[in-house]
C-alpha cells in the first residue's frame, strides 16, 4: 500500500495522517496534511487538504490522494506536484465538506 504510514501495515488512522509533512520530489518540505476528504458512498480518500504558506499566511489546497506517496525515509508524503502547481490547485473551502 503506497499511502500508508507504515509499509508493513495495510491501514492507518486518519488522525495519524493529519499533520504529516508533504515533500516535493527533491525532498523539500512544501506543506502538511490538514485533513482527508473521504467519499461517503465509496469509503475511499478522494483528496487531502494540504496546508502551506506559513503561520501568518496559510493556504489550503485540495490535492488528489493518488498524487501523494508515503516515503518512510522522510516520515512524510512526497508529491510530484511543484509548489507553483500547488498554488494553481483549487483552494479548499469549508463548503466542500
Q: How far is CA 65 from CA 13, 22, 55, 94, in A?
A: 15, 12, 24, 18
Cell match 494553481: residue? 88
Nearest to 78 by CA among 61, 92, 96, 63: 63
Is 50 exceeded by the pLDDT of residue 4? no
In the chain, the percentage of residues whose pLDDT exceeds 90 is 49
What does pLDDT average to over the chain? 82
In the chain, which residue ranges form alpha helices assigned H by DSSP?
14-17, 83-88
Cell of 20: 504529516
The answer to which of 13-17, 24-28, 59-63, 69-73 has the lowest mean pLDDT is: 59-63
* Strand-by-strand arrangement of the 59-64 sheet: 59-64, 45-52, 29-38, 21-23, 76-79, 68-71
pLDDT beyond 70 at 78: yes
Task: State pTM to two decimals.
Answer: 0.77
Phi/psi of residue 65, each to 5°?
-60, -35
Amino acid at each position: 500500500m503506497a499511502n500508508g504510514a507504515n509499509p508493513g501495515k495495510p491501514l492507518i488512522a486518519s488522525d495519524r495522517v493529519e499533520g504529516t509533512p508533504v515533500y516535493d520530489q527533491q525532498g523539500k518540505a512544501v506543506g502538511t496534511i490538514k485533513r482527508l476528504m473521504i467519499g461517503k458512498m465509496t469509503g475511499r480518500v478522494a483528496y487531502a487538504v494540504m496546508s502551506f504558506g506559513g503561520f501568518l499566511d496559510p493556504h489550503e489546497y485540495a490535492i488528489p490522494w493518488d498524487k501523494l506517496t508515503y516515503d518512510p525515509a522522510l516520515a512524510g508524503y512526497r508529491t510530484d506536484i511543484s509548489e507553483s502547481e500547488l498554488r494553481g490547485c483549487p483552494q479548499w473551502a469549508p463548503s466542500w465538506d
